[in-house]
A and B are shown apart, each in its own frame.
Chain A
Amino acid sequence: MEDIAESGVVIGARGPEQGVDQPEKTPAKSIAKVSVGGLNFFYGPRQVLFDISLEIPEGKITALIGPSGCGKSTFLRTLNRMNETVPNTRAEGSVLLDGENIFDMDVVQLRRRVGMVFQKSNPFPKSIFENVAYGLRVNGLVRGVTMAEVVEKSLRRAALWDEVKDQLHKSAYALSGGQQQRLCIARALAIDPEVLLLDEPCSALDPIATAKIEDLLLDLVSTCTIVIVTHNMQQAARVADHTGFFLLGKLIEFNRTDVIFKKPARKETEDYITGRFG
């Protein structure tokens, strides 16, 4: 309760300042889907995110890079309030989804609009069909024949349909690692999220499975906004329209991907990208 009240105050305070910051941080053309202002995050007494402000453009892929422990995953997990499942955590600042503060929203509503795919594929111990149908069932979205249609559509969107169409009722654990990760993407897509968060989705996959997921992201971005955390700078360069560089809990630089990789404004970014550390 306190958090919400606090963040409410901060929005007001941040509003105008953000307006000033905005033009130099994001290209003027794109519209912000998620707009983060002055975000601080704490695990108990330890602060792990410091005054993060950025605008995630709609219908684009935004990559977050940085060394391990820099806070990029924590930041991503703040966007659908997944961090709230960890006890003794606290967020300050504002995160606006289409202009609405997510800390004031019903958390179930928020997570329906902002889907998430985790680092390690985590299918449910259920059939492939039931995995994809889960989000539809818990949200009471569709039933009966439509359910089967939505499941098929989601599996197609995740480029998995052709591989699993004959074994929809087999256990999801029968799939390979790459297939399981695409199943998790299909599961997230089934409830038609506006934003899809991916937390190092390819870190456990081989290059072929990784390439499939990257192709998939490039296809998906026409229908939803994508934010991907990655360790792999080549991956960010390949798929992302915009890239943010995190270091020690701070957002050092955020810009178009080509600018970040070719002409970074900050020395820290350049050092990281050229492999001088990290």
Chain B
Amino acid sequence: MRFRDYRRKFVNIVMLSLTGVCALVSVSILFFVLGYLLVHGWKALSWDFFIKLPAPVGESGGGMGNAIIGSAKLLLIALLSGVPVGLIAGVYLAEFSGKAVGFTVRYVADLLNGVPSIVMGIFIYTVVVLPMHHFSALAGGLALGAMLVPIVLRSTEDFLRGVPSSLREAALALGASRWRAIATVVIPAAGRGITTGILLALARVAGETAPLLFTSFQSQYWSQGFNQPTASLPVMIYTYAISPYENWHRQAWAAGFILLMLVLIANIGARLLLSRRASPARG
């Protein structure tokens, strides 16, 4: 064989290996992260971690119970504020809007989706925290809710568009009004998909830290109601990770592990939910 043939084979092997290695690296990052979190955080993982307040500096033990509850509260507010807006706007886009309005709303939603989360935090700081004069779980939840809107909107629209128009016609032909047909036939037919979209969106914002830094802020105590600053897992990870204490570092790793597991479970749950859709969905 001539030199050119060797060179060609060599380049071929190098490029093939490169693509393979890059593919392997992309999937292994997740497992590296999981393993790393577990190795460093497992010592801090105990029942106490889930139910106790953070221990004062210098004392060992303690947990992140307040941050877990805090994150749950924030997600609840996000769910209640962001999901209805995104959902109903998605219905509008898929079912009612004309071409020009639809294009504009869709485009703006995509832009909104690309807004850096810290900018969303500043925005909520300005319109909620400043007028209220204090940080609160409410403000943090609204910041996350604002981030949910474009994600939920787009996924809802996509799944509604996937519902065959023959189902809409069937409902209308039976004397259903337009909104009735949408509420009782179209949305239920897309129900699993829409739920999946909401779950994935929640999982996505559950790990957001930046919008919470100056909205829900943080707290070393159990937060009462929704009108006070509250601890949350992402902010706790941030605070603990930059602290100089070994014990806190371990807890930050553990918190990271818990957060990642929650996101993974939500993701896998969403995929399962969606794959079950395969049976009844038919032309």
Contacts and interface: CB of A to CB of B under 8 A. Distances in A.
Interface of A: 80, 82, 85, 108-109, 111-112, 115-116, 118, 120, 122-126, 134-135, 137-139, 171, 173, 184, 187-188, 191
A111 B174 contact: yes
Given A125-B188, A125-B280, A125-B281, A188 B175 contact: no
A124 B191 CA distance: 13
Contacts, number: 73
Contacts of A112: 174-175
B282 interface: yes
Interface stretch (B61-69, B105-113, B124-132, B165-173): B165-173
A213 B280 CA distance: 24
- Summarize B's interface: helix, strand, loop or mixed: helix
Interface size class of B (residues with CB under 8 A): 20 to 34
B56 interface: no
Interface stretch (B29-37, B41-49, B137-145, B176-184): B176-184
27 contacts: A82-B172, A85-B168, A108-B175, A108-B176, A108-B177, A109-B175, A111-B173, A116-B169, A118-B173, A122-B164, A122-B170, A124-B167, A124-B170, A124-B185, A125-B188, A125-B281, A135-B175, A135-B176, A138-B171, A138-B176, A138-B184, A139-B175, A171-B280, A184-B170, A187-B170, A187-B174, A191-B175
Given A85-B168, A122-B167, A124-B189, A188 B282 contact: no
Most central of B169, B177, B279 by chain A CB within 10 Å: B169
A250 to B, nearest CB: 26
Contacts of A187: 170, 174
A86 to B, nearest CB: 10
A137 B174 CA distance: 10
B171 A124 contact: yes
A187 B169 CA distance: 13
Contact of B174 (A85, A138, A171): A138
A134 B184 contact: yes
Given A125-B281, A173-B280, A173-B282, A118 B170 contact: yes
A118 B167 CA distance: 10
Contact of A85 (B169, B180, B280, B281): B169
Given A125-B189, A138-B184, A111 B169 contact: no
Contacts of B177: 108, 138
Given A120-B283, A125-B281, A138 B175 contact: yes
A120 B168 CA distance: 13
Residue among B175, B180, B185, B282 with most chain A CB within 10 A: B175
Contacts of A111: 172-175
A200 to B, nearest CB: 13
B167 A188 contact: no
Nearest to B166: A122
Contacts of A188: 173-174
